[in-house]
Amino acid sequence: MKLILLGSGAVRPDLDHWGPAQVVQVGGENLLFDCGRGATMRLVQAGIPIQQLKRLFFTHHHFDHNCDFAYLFLSSWVLGRDVPMEIVGPRGTQAFCDALLKSAYRDDIDTRRFHPMYSAHGCKYNVRDVLEDELTLEYEGFRIRMVHVLHKSHILDNLAYRIEADGKSIVIVGDTTMCQSLMNLAEGADLMVHECTFPTARIRSAKWESFHTAPRDLGKWAKARGVKVLVLKHYAIQPGVEIETMFDEVKAEFGDQGLIAGHDLMTLEV
């Protein structure tokens, strides 16, 4: 399996750290997890033909994690995708897709739908809103386990994913605070990519512990759960927020071995 971190940033416009998105290459497929700012362009930069992308998994529906979806869906269809896109996400994913593709972009789609150069199937999509506490989806050569995690959960549902193949595992986490479901999912993971949004002091002074993980807490629990490689992402770069500071905080608990400060277009194999 291979992880490509397409975007390591968060909400703020940042030319070095584009929006949350990552690809896992497994079983001859490119699986996209989240679709934030610039994800489509990063896919092209990574050499992944967007018209071949047929599976997308959302962690949650904050705009920094889903704002490039319409562009990816429509451009991949116009450029040759000839199968419906499979879309998996938390509660609200069906409504999100329908609002864009059956309402906002309905007329655009209708102008192309019956033209012979555009596939009749490529403008379709199949959505699964994951309402179960835990769910495993089986595919040829790999499986994906998912659980609910905690991030503004009084309003939004949130998922974390574990992709398993050939005895190896990659865990994809969006935004979350510490929670037992995620710690169980990440047990012994070969690689986990996890948010590192703000320094510990900023999170605690702003009382954000209920929806973001402090770097020191992340390092501590990931070490305790036996995560082998921990990749940091989702940096909220702004005055007073530096990657080096957050990296050092995680390192103080996790150690040097296996800790990586993620960057856009980084590729790692497990």
Its CATH architecture, for the domain 2-269, is 4-Layer Sandwich (3.60)
Find out whether 16 and 266 touch, Cβ atoms under 8 Å. Answer: no
Instruction: Return the exposure string of 112-147: e unless at least 16 CB atoms fall within 10 Å of the residue's CB, then b.
Output: eeeeeebbeebbebebebbeeeebebeeeebebbbb
Please tell me the predicted confidence (pLDDT) of residue 241: 73
Please tell me the predicted confidence (pLDDT) of residue 131: 96
The pLDDT tens digits of the residues spanning 135-157 come to: 999 999 999 999 999 888 778 89
Cβ-Cβ contacts under 8 Å for 183 (sequence gap 6 or more): 221, 225
Cβ-Cβ contacts under 8 Å for 130 (sequence gap 6 or more): 88, 89, 90, 91, 146, 148, 157, 159
**For residue 53, what are its two tokens?**
């992308």
Find out whether 209 and 238 touch, Cβ atoms under 8 Å. Answer: no
d(CA 3, CA 190): 11
- Rounded to 5 degrees, what are φ and ψ at 24? -110, 125
Mark the ranges of the chain whose per-residue pLDDT is less than 50.
none
The pLDDT tens digits of the residues spanning 86-118 come to: 999 999 999 999 999 999 999 999 999 888 889
Cβ-Cβ contacts under 8 Å for 196 (sequence gap 6 or more): 213, 215, 218, 232, 233, 234, 235, 243, 246, 247, 250
| Residue-range domain boundaries for the chain | 2-269
Please tell me the predicted confidence (pLDDT) of residue 181: 96
Handedness of CA 147, 37, 247, 211 (dihedral sign): negative
